[in-house]
Structure 1
Amino acid sequence: MAPIDYTDRRRMRLDVEFYFAAAHRLPRYEGPCFRMHGHNYRFFVALEGEVDPATGMIADFGDVKRIVQEHVLARVDHRTLNDVLDNPTAENIARWVWEVLEPHLPGLCEIRLYEIPDSCVTYRGPGGR
């Protein structure tokens, strides 16, 4: 078996999964979601970058988890999302998560948010890579 070449700095992608429960209502929507209701959200934070030859990593999973806990989950888990966003649609929540995390997570390339198990929205930042 050939040894691993730790100087190979090709780009890779790292994905970390998170969960939170929250209530919201959609004030600009005519339908059942106009009324207060809740979801068990699931989302992925994706980072892209070159592998650091010294660590063999793009980023430390523990650091990513700590940053997301501090800047996102602490503000939304078991909360009312209308206290954070005026119109908390899945699209607006994903964009908000990006805006909150982008200054803290170099290489952030995508937020994928599931509001219900079979439906999600993906946000790739202002450039929409």
Structure 2
Amino acid sequence: MKAYLSRRYHFSASHRLNSPAYAEERNREVYGKCNNPHGHGHNYTVEVTVSGRVDPVTGMVCNLADLDAFAQKNLLERFDHTNLNELECFAYRVSTTENLSIEVYRIFAGFPGAHLERIHIEETGNNSFDYAGDG
């Protein structure tokens, strides 16, 4: 029997939406205020959903302490209070939350304790993004 577990994590980060493929004026047209040369910040909420069989001994899909430790090391320590544009993963990609969702999915796909189903990221009260892999 398969069960699902969703866990939320929070971090703050800044970014500037700017594509090297566009001239300065086109970047302003496409990204608007998000193209501010000084950047802007968000308080992101990341929801990770994993699945698996419920262990008959523990009664859990996975150990929450293991998931939290993985998130602390691989998500929070890496992204919290950073400028996303300065991270290697955004060296050649625009730091949109769509691309952030893909990167966070890639990170949690490496969690050995359960199967990753999807990533949900809330950027603002009005904007949220989901990524469930290429398959």
Which of 91, 100, 106 in structure 2 is aligned with 1:93?
Answer: 100
Aligned to 1:34: 35
Three-state SS of the structure 1 residue aligned to 2:47 is strand
Q: 1:115 deviation in Å?
A: 0.6
**TM-score, length of structure 2 as denominator length:** 0.83
Q: 1:118 deviation in Å?
A: 2.7
Work out whether 1:65 is the aligned partner of 2:72.
no
| CA offset digits 1:33-76 (Å, max 9, x no partner) | 01110001011000011101121110011111110110011011
Aligned to 2:134: 126
Which of 56, 78, 99 in structure 2 is aligned with 1:53?
Answer: 56
Instruction: Measure, in 1, the Cα distance between the counterparts of 2:101 and 2:13.
Output: 14
Q: As a proportion of its length, which structure holds more helix?
A: 2
Work out whether 1:21 is the aligned partner of 2:12.
yes
Work out whether 1:117 is the aligned partner of 2:116.
no
Aligned to 1:6: none
Instruction: Measure, in 2, the Cα distance between the counterparts of 1:69 and 1:126.
Output: 25
Divergent runs of 4+, >3 A: none
Q: 1:114 deviation in Å?
A: 0.5
Mean CA deviation greater in 27-36 or 86-95: 27-36
CA RMSD, 1 decimal: 1.1
Unaligned runs of 5+ in 2: 20-26
Unaligned runs of 5+ in 1: 1-9
* One-letter amino acid of the structure 1 residue matched with residue 66 of structure 2: D
Report percent identity of matched pairs.
33
Instruction: Measure, in 2, the Cα distance between the counterparts of 1:104 and 1:11.
Output: 17
Aligned residue pair count? 118
Contact in 1 for aligned 2:67/2:111 (Cα 8 Å): no
